Amino acid sequence: MPDTQITGLSSGIQWKDTVDQLMQIERQPLIKKQKRVKEYEEKKSAWSQISTQLNALKTTLEGMDTLSELSVKKAVSTNSKTLSVRANEKATPGNYSVEILQKANGHKLISEGFSSTSDPIFTSEGTFTIEGYSGEEISFDVNTETNLSELKNKINNNTKSDVTASIMNDGTNYRLILTSKNTGLKSAVTLGGTATMEVDFRDVAISDFKRNKQNIGTASIQSYGKNFQGISNEYTFTVDSVNGGEGEGTIGVDNISLSVRDINGNLIKSIELDSNYVAGTKISITDDIEISFDSGTLAKSSTVSDTYTLETTDPTARDSIIEVENIRVSNESNAVKNVIEGVTLNLNDITEENSPINVTIENDISGVKALISDFAEKYNSVINTVRGYQKWDEELKKGGPLFGDSRATDIITKLNSLLSNINAGIDESQYYKTISQVGVSIKSEGKISIDSKKLDDSLKDNFQEVLKLFGFDYEFTGEGSDKFIYKKRTNNTIGGKYNIDVNIVDGKITSAKIDGVDAKVEGSFITGKKGNGAVGLMIEVDRSVDGNFSSEVRVSTGKNIELINEVYEFTKNGSLDSEKGKIYYINNSIDTSIESLNDQIRSMEYRLEKTRELMEKKWLAMESALTKLKGQSSRVQAMQG
């Protein structure tokens, strides 16, 4: 039936309006159900937001649920440009004197020059081998047509190779550079193989000139990729005179004198550039170094002489050498770890003679406070989100989507209860028993409040004791305690004290119990099974001596793990029913209700459509009947007239 109709032509009644009004009355039950669907959708959205906030809290807690994650240390160097330092949780607060005598270096080899990268470099077919840091000899098949570029690709395409290969153009020739991927004496590269090479590789160092910023002249100096070796050095090129005195002279026009001195100030060479010098002509400085001057000017004045420096480095493999508290230590890396336990020393430069750098390790109180503050912020976000959805709007006289929902209130109640209680498995002698003792407490509306000064003082006075409130802690006691090592736990492990009994025969664990319950045995490891709170607790056992060994292990999960486990009970969403959390089942129930309502709405819409059609048919029938009557009336009147 068309949507647009002209009604009442015979009856004079706008019956379509009447039908619309009647249908509005008929639709009221449907509208109520649609409103209920919207309310359920708002509830589901609310639970989704709560779940998001809970997972954010859980993620934060998981980053600070162990003592190692909480035990933030701060390392300070009095000269971070030369020596930068990092400390982890194992570092012990203290002061240390450090001198850097030598940095570690990787090995570098550069070939003689070739006119083209396509020049062949072998005179016979066979193998070319490289042995480096790993000690494994890597072999490459080569022949008389293998060129620089192909050999470079062969080396770089081998994932086991300890070196990288590159090609450099020194301005005249192409050279193959082999650079160790590692540093230290072990990084020394040895070449070999059965193929005969036309090329000679030598230890090399290459550098560019640095121009003094105060230079007046415009000329620059070029260094070439000539092979050279030796200890690190620095060469200074200074203009001594221009045409026998002061002034600015043009290269190739004026007579310019320069002196070359090494890092110790020793004169290495005097250079005389006369009017016959052609820019770009190479000049030998030592047996290993060549340079050339570009066109331009060089200057000498009473206050400033144009100066250039050329740094060279020793490319041979060597270990770093440092002295910590006057104890000499060598290391293959410039990132020296655990010479001071838990500390990484990054060697950036050599220290000046008799000028040690002081390294200070201290507990990072501000770092720990930042972790706790972040936790409090995420916790309060959960509380604010739940409270927001439960709030009563006085103006609208309406509650939020979860107004009066005890399941939402249950989240706040359980989390608040966990925060206020003493941790399960806590050491009875522990200095702090509750987090409120260190300035972290539950205040208005169930939110965390931090007394910054109280927390600061607690961390200063008893740093480790504060951390034990929040992070996982354990301790073995008893005669056999030295036989056991904690390995890991699961979310099902409950804090408490557990007795361990193990029997070892011929180096094998023949029986193991944790608190009287048989434990799972796998080699040297025993794991708690269902039957007590130790489920999932894994312990490594020393099997070197046969016998019966017993110990007690105290496991304190810490406040953060207790909260993680509780949050997980709300948010988990595994594949099995037993692996699904409370929010999953709440949303599942909401989905079922929405689906049921939508089924009812579809059925009601169908019935309403039929009801409307029936009404319109009745009105149309009436209009038709009236039209016929009017027609008959008109004919009768015509006959009577």
Give the long-range contacts of residues 62-68, CB within 8 A, separation 24 or more. Answer: 62/564, 63/371, 64/371, 64/375, 64/470, 64/471, 64/560, 65/470, 65/471, 65/472, 65/558, 65/560, 65/561, 65/564, 66/471, 66/472, 67/464, 67/467, 67/468, 67/471, 67/472, 67/473, 68/471
What local confidence, expressed as pLDDT, does residue 95 receive? 96
Q: Which residues contact 585 (CB under 8 A, 6 or more apart)?
A: none
Distance from C-alpha of 121 to C-alpha of 457, rounded to nearest angstrom = 71
Report the alpha-carbon distance of residue 158 to residue 141 in Å, rounded: 12
- How far apart (Å, rounded) are the C-alpha atoms in residues 545 and 532? 28
* Other beta carbons within 10 Å of 406: 8
539 vs 488: CA distance, rounded Å: 7
- Residue 142 φ/ψ, nearest 5 degrees: -135, 165
Instruction: Give the pLDDT confidence score for residue 141 in this predicted structure.
Output: 95
Q: What is the pTM of this model?
A: 0.67
Q: Extract the tokens encoding 206.
A: 């290459």
- What tokens were used for 426? 């806590």
pLDDT of residue 229: 40
H helix count then E strand count, the chain: 10, 38
CA distances from 320 to 100, 133, 331, 332, 348 (A): 8, 16, 5, 6, 11
pLDDT of 519 reads 95
Q: Is 112 helix (H, G, I), strand (E, B) or coil?
A: coil
Copy the structure tokens of residue 499.
């007795």
Sign for the CA dihedral angle at 401, 405, 407, 409 comes to: positive
Report whether 553 contacts 475 (CB < 8 A). yes
- The list of the chain residues with pLDDT below 70 reads 1-12, 200, 202-208, 224-232, 288, 313-315, 641
DSSP state letters, 470-511 = HSBEEEEESTTGGGEEEEE--TT---EEEEEEEEEETTEEEE
DSSP category for residue 290? E
Instruction: Give the SS3 label for residue 637.
Output: helix
DSSP state string for 526-574:
EEB-TTSTTBT-EEEE--SS-EEEEEEEEEE-HHHHHHHHHHHHHH-B-
C-alpha span between 87 and 581 (Å, rounded): 39
- Residue 569 near residue 491 (C-beta atoms within 8 A): no
- Cα separation, 161 vs 199, whole angstroms: 20
User: Cα(419)–Cα(563) distance, rounded to whole angstroms?
Assistant: 8
pLDDT tens column, 116-127: 999 898 999 999
According to DSSP, residue 449 is labeled: E
| The pLDDT value given to residue 458 | 95
Listed in order, strand segments (DSSP E) in 181-266 are 190-192, 201-203, 209-211, 221-223, 233-242, 247-250, 256-261
